[in-house]
Amino acid sequence: MTTVHAQSESQVDLATSPGRRRLAFWATAIGLGGVRVSALIIALMHVVGPTAAISPVDLTISEYALASSGWAFGLGILILAGASFSLFAAAVISRRMPLLSPASVFATLWSAGLIVLVLVPKAPYAAPEGIGGDVHRYASFVAFVSLPIAVLLVARSTADRRPWAQWLGIASLAWFVPMVVAMAYQGFTGGAAWWTVIPLGLIERGMAGTEIAAILVLAWPSARRTRSAPGHRGRSSDAGIGENELHDRAGSPATRAVAAQTPN
């Protein structure tokens, strides 16, 4: 079954024009680079500058936007939004994700939510929440829910189904469980605010890290497949397929036909 799925994706690759493959390659490369740069910026803010004093256990990442170096936080999030858009655009260009589909809608909501939470910062911790704070909170919720759903939909529609991406998508959604439990506890008991009874900052950082890992794992095999487009024409377009799978396909008539047409 896996071999049949892989052959189907290979046929999609072969049916895609060289121009589309080249565009998909650069969109994927830019996206992967941007996600890693964004992750590096946010990670450095945990240990460098005034944001290093912010508790990573109790306070959310959005607190960084209120520091004097908050511009770096905004830059990192905007890079992540643009890089994510580039990666999902590559999936559309390479025909692995329809332009108009549930996956593309959730992918767009992820990037849009990130942009909104930068444009509308949260209120300082323990300060009264105004309209801006509500907008920021809802944008964060939409973004962090939408990405794992988009990853799951795209992963399940690819030939190899990207199992690690699916597991990371599920793990990303699982980070919401302690939040829901804390909200329910507050609702039934009328006790302390729900975000004070759980390590919200740690949970949010775990969720963010898991979601970044999910999008990287989702996109990386496609980057390996399309890397032959700009200047590696003699290489197989199936560089992301496992070695055993290639061995199984080596003797098929379709593979021999393609090989005969491939320049040395």
Instruction: List the chain pLDDT tens, one digit each, 264 residues.
Output: 444 444 444 444 444 678 788 888 889 999 999 999 999 999 999 999 999 999 999 999 999 999 999 999 999 999 999 999 999 999 898 888 888 999 999 999 999 999 999 999 887 766 667 788 889 999 999 999 999 999 999 988 776 678 899 999 999 999 999 999 999 988 888 878 888 889 999 999 999 999 999 999 998 876 665 555 444 444 333 333 233 333 444 444 444 444 445 444
Question: Is 204 part of any domain?
Answer: yes
Question: What pLDDT sits at residue 224?
Answer: 61
* Rounded Cα–Cα distance for residues 97 and 6 (Å): 16
Question: How many separate domains does the chain show?
Answer: 1
Question: Is 12 part of any domain?
Answer: no
Question: What pLDDT sits at residue 233?
Answer: 47
Question: Is 182 part of any domain?
Answer: yes
Domain that holds residue 66: 18-227
65 within 8 A of 121, measured Cβ to Cβ: yes
Question: Is 176 part of any domain?
Answer: yes
Alpha-carbon dihedral sign for residues 107, 180, 59, 122: positive
Residue linked to tokens 């890290």 = 209
Question: What pLDDT sits at residue 159?
Answer: 67
Question: What pLDDT sits at residue 236?
Answer: 35
Question: Is 89 part of any domain?
Answer: yes
Residue 137, CB-side half-sphere exposure with 13 Å CA sphere? 10
Close Cβ partners of 174 (under 8 Å, ≥ 6 residues apart): none
Question: Is 98 part of any domain?
Answer: yes
Question: Is 7 part of any domain?
Answer: no
Question: Is 249 part of any domain?
Answer: no
**102-119 and 131-157 helices cross at what angle (nearest 10)?**
150
* Rounded Cα–Cα distance for residues 94 and 21 (Å): 6
